Amino acid sequence: MTRVEIEYCVPCGMLNRAQDVSEALLTQFGEELDEVALVTGDDGVFVVRADGEVVFDKTEDEYDVDAIVRAVRPYVGAAA
């Protein structure tokens, strides 16, 4: 099963964005995902990883929830 991590910058107030992404992923994939973890960080970080692979990084990609959901799809239901 698939674990998604959303590492976000706490002091920058990115919790809402992190929650939006987790809600979109869990609404889209439900039990096909094992878990979505909101990981606290700082220094402006906003990175999404699927099974350890970076699929979105704020320093490189435009923030777009639908694009992040599409980027996670190939990892969904991956062999445990």
Interacting residue ranges for a second copy, rule: CB under 8 A? 5, 10, 15, 19, 22-23, 26-27, 30-31, 33-42
Beta strand 2-9 with 53-57: parallel, antiparallel or unpaired?
Answer: unpaired
Residue closer to a second copy by CB (options 38, 65) is: 38
CB of 53 to a second copy, least distance (A): 18
Other beta carbons less than 10 A from residue 66's beta carbon: 9
CB of 49 to a second copy, least distance (A): 12
Nearest alpha-carbon partner for 68 in 80, 50, 51: 50
Residue closer to a second copy by CB (options 30, 52) is: 30
Residue closer to a second copy by CB (options 36, 55) is: 36
CA atoms of 53 and 20, how far apart (whole Å): 20
The single residue listed with the structure tokens 């878990």 is 35
CB of 64 to a second copy, least distance (A): 20
